[in-house]
Amino acid sequence: MPLKPNIGVYTNPDHDLWIGEAQPTAESVASGSDLKPGETSGRAAGAAGAAGAAGAADAADAAVAAVAAVSAVAAADTETRPQKTKEKMLTFSLFLPDRSDIHFWHAGRIGPMVVRNDHILGHESSGDVIAVHPSVTSLQVGDRVAVEPNVICNACEPCLTGRYNGCGKVAFLSTPPVPGLLRRYVNHPAAWCHKIGDMSYEAGSLLEPLSVALAGLQRAEVRLGDPVLVCGAGPIGLVTMLCCAAAGASPIVITDIAESRLAFAKELCPRVTTHKVGRDGGGGSPEATARAIVQSFGGVEPALAMECTGVEASIGAAIWATRFGGKVFIIGVGSSDISIPFMRASVREVDIQLQYRYCNTWPRAIRLVESGVVDLSRLVTHRFALEDALKAFETAADATSGAIKVQIQSFD
């Protein structure tokens, strides 16, 4: 059966959002002519994620970008195609637009990462392999995979020491100028295509935000019985909450400005306590907000705060709430410059730690989902076809829609 034309979801410096023709073309997908050594090829529908530095031009060609709050699944194509490179061709059916996709669309930038030209969004996706280069031995046509959306240099100190999220030459899909995964077809290195077996494409596309949470928990050193504060009940906050619960943290309090999101958090994890804060951090000072949060813990100060908003007032409240010798771990991305209650952190020996993306988390994420230890199935609240991606983005950006994760599907 002939392949459908490749299309993608674009934005630009004028904050337009549209669906247009995308690379690679269906013809090159069918022939395998665009594949490079180490790459795979397939149909893609992507979701947005954190921003990253641009890579070399050849790496950018193989990169995939994600779109916030939507997942993409790919339909399998078992027809044998010429295999001319080590890349793999992937076909994706599910994409999950991420908050970063919304930021690139609305603001045109995340920190130093700026949309300067027409740009394809999306970095959370899963799908099927439809072509491989002869040198690829780890994957074959028909394999179901989730895409880790980065291409690294494998030569710098962070790469060589196993912390490849610090690679200065990384091409991170969906981070300008690297095109994202919100495309029907995409080429990507086989090394960053993780087999998901019989896992649903929807769950496969959620492995990216799960990896963000896992990276945070690993470095924050969550321990059994730790009282943990989770700030923010958006997708990353909710996944972080689920991981903290799976790790044995207790009690857990999660905060948000929206009652609807707190109610959703309670449905996901009934044993958590929810705490509503004001848009300014609680209707008062961060110190006052912290006192109210500690009351929600039953008077116990949290040993750890997992801050998933990046909002100054929320970070300040987390520092005020955390016990002596505790830690505030910041996953959320915020403004370039913020103020914190420095002396409170100093006299209480509160460690402040931050995170940039993830590394070496995908195999663990797959095991957690396959075993049922972490259940992400209820996070997707809205679903759209790739052709209706504009509606998907509008829903993801609408605070009144009740959307947690919005899925974009590209099924044949």
- Is residue 157 located within the same domain as residue 253? no
Confidence of residue 81 (pLDDT cuts 50, 70, 90): very low
pLDDT tens by residue, 230-255: 999 999 999 999 999 999 999 999 99
Residue 60 or 2, more confident: 2
Residue whose entry in the numeric block shows the structure tokens 């002519």:
33
Task: Give pLDDT, residue 40.
Answer: 72
Mean pLDDT of 268-278: 97
Residue 19 falls inside a structural domain? yes
CATH number at residue 152: 3.90.180.10
Among 139-153, 273-287, 315-329, 353-367, the range scoring the smallest mean pLDDT is: 273-287
Q: What is the pLDDT of residues 26-63, one digit of tens each?
A: 888 877 777 877 777 665 433 333 323 323 323 222 22
Please check the confidence at residue 67 and state whether its pLDDT lies above 60: no
Domain final position from 354, 369, 401: 354
Question: In this structure, is residue 172 part of a structural domain?
Answer: yes
Q: Which residues form the domain of 315?
A: 210-354
Average pLDDT over residues 350-379: 97
Tell me if 374 is assigned to some domain: no
In the block, which residue shows the tokens 């109610």? 263
pLDDT exceeds 50 at position 263: yes
Show Cβ contacts of residue 171 under 8 Å, excluding neighbours closer than 6 positions: 52, 54, 55, 56, 59, 60, 62, 63, 150, 151, 178
Residues 120 and 12 in one domain: yes
Mean pLDDT of 141-166: 96
- Determine the average pLDDT of the residues in 5-23: 96
- Check residue 334 and give its pLDDT: 86
Tell me, yes or no, whether 47 lies in a domain: yes
Question: Is 38 within a domain?
Answer: yes
Answer for the pair 205, 71: CB distance below 8 angstroms, yes or no.
Answer: yes
- Claim to verify: residue 66 and residue 163 sit in the same structural domain: yes
Does a structural domain hold residue 285? yes
Considering its fold, how many domains does the chain have in total? 2
173 shares a domain with 108:
yes
Give the Cα separation of 346 and 86 in Å (integer). 52
pLDDT tier at 64, thresholds 50, 70, 90: very low
Which secondary-structure segment (H or E) carries 256?
A: strand 252-256
Q: Which residues contact 159 (CB under 8 A, 6 or more apart)?
A: 152, 153, 167
Whether residue 12 is found in the same domain as residue 135: yes
The per-residue pLDDT of the chain, averaged, comes to 86
| Residue 129 sits in the same domain as residue 63 | yes
- Whether 132 and 192 share a structural domain: yes
157 & 254 share domain = no
Is residue 359 in some structural domain? Answer: no
Q: What is the pLDDT of residue 92?
A: 62
Contact 241, 254 (CB under 8 A): yes
Q: Tell whether 300 and 313 lie within a shared domain.
A: yes
Global confidence as pTM: 0.87
Per-residue model confidence as pLDDT tens digits over 98-139: 888 998 999 999 888 999 999 999 999 999 998 888 888 999
Are 152 and 173 within one domain? Answer: yes
